[in-house]
Chains A and B, each alone.
Chain A
Amino acid sequence: MISALAVSPVAEIATLLAPAAQPAAVARLGIADVSATARYGCKGPGTIAWLENLGLPVPPQPNSWLPLDGGGLIARLGFTEFLIEGPDALIAPLASAPRAAGVYPVLRQDAALILGGARLDELLRQTCNVNFRPLDPATRPVVLTSMVGVGVTVIPELRNGQPFVRVWCDGTYGHYLWETLLGIAVELGGGNVAAHHFN
């Protein structure tokens, strides 16, 4: 199921900080909307073999992820469900490839956010029940949990020595999740920044 959204679920409310203010906000707690990135979802008992036949690496453990050549990632959600995200050149052939038996498409019209900065853990402690601090980003964990009451998929990482998370949720909750997280980020001295600041 191809899922490159024409318009982000939070496009109408995501207003960037002034460019001069963004570097300082990123250092404290930046939040960026990356919902327009192409992604593909699939699940089913035949999915692992099908993805391997397409030449994609399959994370060996449930709830883990792997980076993809050319950018992007593949996340294993539970035992046999996968979320693949990356450039159009990666996702479009995947979405148009004939599916094998036991492979079912999963519509991914997510709101996708990234957050990072020195005060990220303070935001996570206010919004989420999972303690992210003991998690080792080097093991590439995927956390499926609830954030301010919304079911989310979270990947914690370290970027430029700072904690960083990718967050996906159902697009219909995007407005609420974005407003809530942005409000906390602003309280913590951060704000809405362009995604390239996290590269």
Chain B
Amino acid sequence: MKILTCPLNGPRPVSEFFYWGEVRPMPNPAAASDDEWADYVFNRNGAPGVKREWWCHTPSNTWFIAERDTEKDVVLKTYFYTGEE
């Protein structure tokens, strides 16, 4: 059983979580070109590596960030989102 650690509720089986994709800053829709906007809407980065991802602990609806190495399938750390640096 895979275990993921919610920053609020602690270690739980991954079946209690929902994955919502990589953290991707949205370009300014008023300033972005059509190509930039289409890239944001339609394209995803499938290359393996360390990624920041949105996850949700569904019983408590707690959203947080997991840094996950998708090549090694290892979660490096989890923490609450505090805005883009």
Contact = CB atoms under 8 A, between A and B. Distances in A.
Interface of A: 62-63, 77-79, 129-130, 143-146, 151-153
A153 to B, nearest CB: 8
9 contacts: A63-B8, A78-B8, A78-B61, A78-B62, A79-B8, A129-B13, A145-B9, A145-B16, A146-B16
B12 A62 contact: no
Contacts, number: 31
B58 interface: yes
B13 A144 contact: no
Given A145-B16, A152-B59, 16 more contacts: A62-B8, A63-B9, A77-B60, A78-B60, A78-B61, A78-B62, A129-B12, A129-B13, A129-B15, A130-B12, A143-B9, A144-B9, A146-B15, A146-B58, A151-B59, A153-B59
Interface of B: 8-9, 12-13, 15-16, 57-62
A152 B62 CA distance: 14
